[in-house]
Amino acid sequence: MKEGVLLCGHGSRKTAGVEEFKKLVEILKERYKNDYEVDYGFLEFNHPLFEAAVERLYSKGVRVIYALPVILFAGAHAKNDIPYELNTIQSYYPDLQIKMGSPIGVNSFVLDLAKKRIEEAELHVSRLDRRETCLVVVGRGTTDPDANSDVTKLMSMLWEGMGFGFATTAYSGTAYPSVEQSLALVEKLGFKRTIAIPFFFFTGVLLDRIYATLEEKNRLSAQEFIYTAAFGTDELMLKAFDSRLDEAVNGTGNMNCQLCKYRKQIIGFEEEVGKEQIGHHLNVKGVLFEEDEKVGEKKNTLGSQFKKLLGI
């Protein structure tokens, strides 16, 4: 039976972020080409949608699809939106199995990659004892305390493992504290340097805002504020995807339900237990950039230029 891998992206309002996602797709397509057909789709903003990607895989004879969320932490997107979309698509094909893998989450590869990005940033500034440095780990931020706690766990492991004087978290949206609030608190602690590491795969509107906030803080403060690059397509991240794919194939990729606010009574979120699983991106599915080429297809061909002209 032919098997496929569906890379489930969130989507971005920034073209550069979409291009970086497609670069990851091309790399993983080459990496898995001997065993799987690889395709991709987006939850919102961009094309192709998951439904189109599944249709392409199905037309190639794929009857088992392993869906891998290109999402770092298991918030609402991974727990509700993507499963809702995939369950709906699954119902269209009686002879097709879609098996969803876990988000990247907390694992040794992400921890090692974060360490690598921090060390890379330190190479561009003067040498300083890490005990005089504060670390700020910046997550996307969700309404799910389970996902936010993963950011805090990785922060704590980096703090203890790398010997920073202090470490804390910040979030680009939804959760507290925001990047601005966290930096204001950190500045009062008086560390000579603060290193911020955004836990993001690629560039995008949110990452640009984080960098702009840090640059402004560095300009106005007597202390030094620097930041790392995003995770990108580093080999360590590719190994994390290998691990999640292996779990999905072998049926061991289980979502963390012990502290999930939809399944257990979590302090402050008691009313969300048993909440219906339904996507909330229906109004923004594919609203921005149309798909102008498939993975591995040559760009700027006559066909792609014609599609752009027609807006399709």
Digit-coded pLDDT (tens) for 51-65: 999 999 999 999 999
- Give the separation between CA 81 and CA 104, rounded to whole angstroms: 16
* pLDDT above 90: residue 30: yes
State pLDDT tens for residues 137-146.
999 998 888 8
Chain-centre distance for alpha carbon 225: 24
* 2-105+235-310 topology per CATH: Rossmann fold (3.40.50)
N- to C-terminal Cα separation, the chain = 33
DSSP string, 41-109: EESSSSSSBHHHHHHHHHHTTEEEEEEEE--SS-SHIIIIIHHHHHHHHHTT-TT-EEEE---S-S-HH
SS3 assignment, position 225: strand
Residues 236, 116: Cα–Cα separation, whole Å? 10
Residue 307 has pLDDT above 60, yes or no: no
Query: How many Cβ atoms from other residues are within 10 Å of residue 35's Cβ?
Result: 12
pLDDT-derived band at 287 (thresholds 50, 70, 90) equals: low
Q: What is the pLDDT of residue 19?
A: 95
Percent of the residues in the chain that have a pLDDT greater than 70, as a whole number:
80
Q: Where does CATH 3.40.50.1400 sit in the chain?
A: 2-105+235-310, 120-227
Residues marked as catalytic: 10
Rounded CA separation 99/249 (Å):
8
Q: Give tens-digit pLDDT for 217-259.
A: 999 999 999 999 999 999 999 999 999 999 999 988 665 554 5
Arithmetic mean of pLDDT, 276-301: 56
Residues 6+ apart with CB under 8 A from 151: 73, 137, 139, 169, 171, 199
Residue 83 in this model has a pLDDT that exceeds 80: yes
CATH class of this structure's domain 120-227: alpha beta
> Residue 218: phi, psi to the nearest 5?
-65, -35
What are 169-196's pLDDT values in tens digits? 999 988 999 999 999 999 999 999 999 9
Cβ-count burial 255-275 (b if 16+ within 10 Å, e if not): bbeeebbbbeebeebeeeeee
Confidence class of residue 74 from pLDDT cuts 50, 70 and 90?
Answer: confident
CA of residue 159 relative to chain centroid, distance: 22
Show contacts of 254-260: CB within 8 Å, 24+ apart. 254/102, 255/74, 255/78, 255/79, 255/102, 256/74, 256/105, 256/146, 259/145, 259/146, 259/149, 260/79, 260/144, 260/146
